[in-house]
Structure 1
Amino acid sequence: MHLVCEPDNEITLKLPHITLAGRLWGSPDKPLLLALHGWLDNANSFEPLSHYLADYQILAIDWPGHGGSQHRPGAYPLHWVDYLYDLDALLGVLETQPVAMIGHSLGGIIASAYAAAFPDNVARLVLIEALSPLYESETKSKTRLQNSFIGHRRFLATQDKPVNIYRDIAIAANARHKLTALDLQWCELLTQRNMQNLDSGVCWRSDPRLKLDSPLRLTFSQVDALMQAHTVNTLLISGSGGFPQLREAIPMAHRWFERLQTVELDGDHHLHMGNAAQVSEAIRDFLTA
């Protein structure tokens, strides 16, 4: 696939099973970095980094159901494993393999799991506030499945109801700011891509199924078996104000990854936006070492 930019750095990527939207920064003669965003975010989350990584071409996709990408067909519950297939299909159609994958949060989880299973397909890996697939005790499996189906039935019953329309994007951005404490400027950047314009205002275009509970989560023993002997050269970037569970898991990460560097930088869970300068410096140092 030859990467052709549309206006405003937009790009469309036709995979065998779905069409993805994304953004592309940098000239085609630069090494390609593939950037994978987090849950309920979109490709815009990597725009701040693009200003500091001018030596690379950055391809940031919208996962299915996010941003401008297609929603998964049907109305069935979603599962994180689906993203692994999306990633594999994307790598299959790219003419140039990326020199590294950069994954934030959910994007990092997907990239890390994919690299564990298919290390020959990943040159280097940068994880931002992410480590491995989520896991929980097998004793919670029945309750999780029940709750997931209850939520999904409720979703199906409300599918035909009119969408909530906002007067303008600022209202939605402020709502996310109050809910997550993410800086307002970054809420605005993310929100504008996850919404669509209507004659009467704006509404969300994200797939509502993204907010439903997954019907199944792996156990620790499954994740442990997957992540053992992780051979891809990896940089793990955590934020000083990010998820404390990630920092607590770093000793486990060193047991899993054969080649792992870790760095903690100032910032919260979205430090690649709020502290893009230091994050990009860490990425450059890692890729050129």
Structure 2
Amino acid sequence: MTIDMQQIRFQLSELNLDGLCSLSMPQPVSAVTPIAELPADKPILLMLHGWQDNAESFSPLFPLLAEHFHLVAFDWPGHGWSDPRASGNYYHFVDYVDDLHQVVSLLPNRPLFILGHSLGALVSVCYSAAFGERVAGLVLIEGLAPLHEAESKAPARLRQGLLSRHRYRERETQRQQRSMASFEQALALRCNVNQLTQEQLTPLVARATYQQGGRWYWRHDNRLRCDSLYRMAATHASAMVGSVACPVLSIIGSQGYRQLKSVQLASAGWQNIIQHEVHGGHHCHLESPCDVAKQILLFSSQINEMT
């Protein structure tokens, strides 16, 4: 099956988020023209990509899931085609939760499924903890509880974050934006970083780059590389996890982050979670899309049977 994903733009209060969807929607979507109605024949699946990825991260899943869901995937601020945050602003984790809340408020007022990879998984957990009434089920790919650390590390974290911003400001005054001679060079660089094939990464890199004056440039905002000024304490992360009431499917890669693989998820405070391992690393949804889609469809069908 092939699926022609359509471009969509969400006009939020401070910026625009561009994305892809599986059916025609009003352009742009805003508080003035929200998506008030969608056919009720299938649920909405909102797809949230990881750090320095974009909506095309899910391209192998689109044709496998479009028959069963209304698909919506958008680029986070500073990623892909979306606007960067305004000058003087940085990328606080909790602001991504606000971005997600604004997008959800523009969708029909009914429970939806959320699929998050890496950063997208962490954001979706926090959103579901705060607004559980809007979430029918969560699919977390290579991500679980929000990042946290001991309270005693807060001063060092603050120092590290502020110094990283200082270095960014110094570089920005003298930096020429990094460029590449060709799209193939950009693709090769990303393949080397993620240890994935050109076929797997071509759609993602195409959305992450642009050509100007015979050179190729990355679209992402360089402020994304600045360190966080703070992280949650373990008690805060546990409170988030414990407040997620909807069913949760955790999908991990066999060569992904080992700390995500756990046979003791129940003791971590999750109310209703199952975990499934597929072949691949941190981007296992690009390496094993058929297995990932199979698990998502099985998971959603079981929830639909209970409702």
TM-score under structure 2 length normalisation: 0.86
What amino acid does structure 2 have at the position aligned with 1:21?
A: D
1:116-265 correspondence runs (5 A): 116-160=129-173, 161-248=175-262, 250-253=263-266, 255-265=268-278
Sort the Cα spacing of 1:154 and 1:24 in 2 relative to 1 into closer, same or farther, 3 A: same
**Quick one: distance in 1 between partners of 2:5 and 2:44?**
19
Alpha carbons of structure 1 residues 254 and 22: separation in structure 2 relative to 1, 3 Å: farther
Deviation, 1:26, is 4.8
Q: What is the aligned-residue RMSD (CA, Å)?
A: 1.8
> Secondary structure in 2 aligned to 1:202?
strand
User: Are 1:20 and 1:70, in contact at CA under 8 Å, matched by a contact in 2?
Assistant: yes
How many residues in Structure 1 have an aligned counterpart in Structure 2?
282
Deviation at 1:164, TM superposition (A): 1.7
CA distance in 2, matches of 1:123, 1:172: 38
**Residues 181 and 108 (structure 1 numbering): CA distance in 2 closer, same or farther, change over 3 Å?**
same
Residue identity in the other structure for 2:16: T
Amino acid at match of 1:204: W
Deviation for aligned residue 1:96 = 5.2
Q: Give 1:65's match in structure 2, choosing from 62, 73, 78.
A: 78
> Residues 254, 185 of structure 1: CA spacing in aligned structure 2 closer, same or farther, 3 A cutoff?
farther
1:214-255 C-alpha deviation (Å, 9 max, x unpaired)? 11111112211222242111111111111101004x514554
Displacement of 1:118: 1.6
* 8 Å contact from structure 2 (residues 252, 277) kept in 1: yes
Identity in percent: 33
**Is this contact kept in 1: 2:5–2:22, CA < 8 A?**
no
Alignment deviations for residues 50-91 of structure 1 (CA, whole Å, 9 cap, x no partner): 111122221111000000000010223321110000011111
Deviation for aligned residue 1:165: 1.8
Which residue of structure 1 aligns with residue 305 of structure 2?
none
In structure 2, what is the equivalent of residue 43 of structure 1?
55
Matched-pair contact (CA < 8 Å) for 2:238–2:268: no
Which whole-Å deviations, capped at 9, do the CAs of 1:191-225 have from their partners, x for residues lacking one?
21111221222111101011111111111122112
CA distance in 1, matches of 2:235, 2:109: 35
CA–CA distance in 2 between the matches of 1:255 and 1:145? 27
Instruction: Give the partner amino acid of 2:172.
Output: Q
CA contact (8 A) 2:265 2:273 kept: no
Unaligned stretches of 5+ residues in structure 2: 25-37, 303-307
In the other structure, the counterpart of 1:4 is none
Q: How far, CA to CA, are the matches of 1:23 and 1:140 in structure 2?
A: 39
Residues 44 and 113 in structure 2, CA contact (< 8 A), matched pair in contact too: yes
For structure 1, list consecutive stretches of 5 or more residues without a partner in the other structure.
Answer: 1-6
SS in 2 for 1:59: strand
Q: Per the alignment, in what secondary structure is the counterpart of residue 277 of structure 2?
A: strand
Change in Cα spacing, 1:97 to 1:138, as seen in structure 2 (3 Å) is same
Q: Do the aligned partners of 2:186 and 2:216 also contact (CA within 8 Å) in 1?
A: no
Following TM superposition, by how much is the alpha carbon of 1:186 offset from its aligned partner in structure 2, in angstroms? 2.6
Q: 1:77 to 1:26 in 2, by over 3 A?
A: closer
